[in-house]
Structure 1
Amino acid sequence: MLYAYLLSVVRTVAPIAAGWLITQALRLGVTIEPGPVESLVTGAFAALYYAAFRFAELKLSPRLGWLLGWARPPEYPRT
Structure 2
Amino acid sequence: MLLPSVLRTLVPLFAGWVIVVVSRLGFSVDSHTVQTAITLGVAAAYYVVFRFVERLAEKYHGPAWLKGAAGVLLGYAKPPRYQATDDVAELLRQSRT
Matched, 1:35 2:32: yes
| 1:16-55 correspondence to structure 2 within 5 Å | 32-55=29-52
Opposite residue 32 of structure 2, the aligned amino acid is G
Superposed displacement of residue 62, structure 1:
2.2
TM norm structure 1: 0.58
Greater length-normalized contact order (CA 8 Å, ≥ 6 residues apart) = 2
Cα distance in 2, alignment partners of residues 33 and 69 from structure 1: 32
Q: What's the TM-score once normalised by structure 2's chain length?
A: 0.48
RMSD: 2.6
Cα distance in 1 for partners of 2:47, 2:30 equals 26
2:50 matched to 1:62?
Answer: no
Unaligned runs of 5+ in 2: 23-27, 58-65, 86-97
Runs of 4+ residues deviating >4 angstroms: none
Aligned length: 57
Runs of at least 5 residues in structure 1 that lack an aligned partner in the other structure = 1-7, 26-30
Secondary structure of 2:33's aligned partner: helix
Alignment partner of 1:75 out of 51, 76, 81: 81
1:20-72: CA deviation from partner (whole Å, max 9, x where unpaired): x8xxx8xxxxx831010000000110000000000000102421211101010
Partner of 2:93: none
Percent identity over the alignment?
Answer: 38
